Structure 1
């Protein structure tokens, strides 16, 4: 049994990850879904699946799945920026859209590990720079968009 999953499914049969048993993955998925809601709300919140391989020596794959069930690939090690990488891969392959984007350089960014082992979005343009921590993309939006997003969140909560 892989040390990443608590319930081994049939080889190749994807099953939902038990997020209650994996609060680390639940937090990472929540951060990614905050970023999606802020910058690509039409995609909807993602779910996390586990696809066990046919070979017991091969690690499980963890794809991020769109609400309609579409997904692409997955990561073998979901810790750190792994969930963000899986979500990014699904958005790019299924929706044919670069996500997320550095508004300063107008180029796609990549999930990486920043200071203090945090998952961050990293822009590789020019010298490269950390855009923000995964889950904080709303803070990078221009003022008008950021305010509209906060109003929308308040209406949903209230």
Structure 2
């Protein structure tokens, strides 16, 4: 593990989140993994880990971990946008890669969500614009890449 993999004060006993008990988190993680598969397949699918706190003043932490178990930082009170942010932080800090990137401006985008709205990837260049919902990055790929991804998915499914 690299020195970016965790913050010592929170590390107690990281364990996988029971996604069957948390369908909201399972859906958020599936969306992030669709985006990773479309735009950064070499990263592999993320896993959602949970580090319980033994201090009442320090909340439990949730981490988006790479397949090999490396992760960076954590979020509290996870929702779809925060799970996307955690995955983005892990990719950036562990793999040293900006992800995802706005194809129009060639800059990193950020996860955001309003109250009762789906999580979206938001580009902050200029006045800013919504790139797409988290989980839909494949739609932002250039035509040739998007077609290759669909062919790959069809081969895998059939």
What is the TM-score normalised by the length of structure 2? Answer: 0.90
Shift of 1:12: 1.6
Task: Work out the CA distance in 2 between the residues paired with 1:74 and 1:85.
Answer: 9
Structure 1 residues without counterparts, runs of 5 or longer: 1-10
Shift of 1:58: 2.1
Task: Work out the CA distance in 1 between the residues paired with 2:57 and 2:157.
Answer: 46
What is the DSSP-based 3-state SS (H/G/I as helix, E as strand, rest coil) of the residue aligned with 1:153? helix
* Aligned twin of 1:95: 95
Structure 2 residues without counterparts, runs of 5 or longer: 1-10
1:114–1:120: 8 Å Cα contact kept in structure 2? no
2:44–2:66: 8 Å Cα contact kept in structure 1? yes
* Aligned twin of 1:5: none
Task: Work out the CA distance in 2 between the residues paired with 1:21 and 1:157.
Answer: 27
* Aligned twin of 2:154: 154
What aligned pairs does 1:6-155 form with structure 2 within 5 A after superposition? 12-114=12-114, 116-155=116-155
Let me know the Cα RMSD of the aligned residues.
1.5
Aligned length: 149
Task: Work out the CA distance in 2 between the residues paired with 1:88 and 1:117.
Answer: 20
Q: Per chain length, whose mean CA-contact separation is higher, i.e. which structure has more relative contact order (CA < 8 Å, sep 6+)?
A: 2
What is the TM-score normalised by the length of structure 1? Answer: 0.90
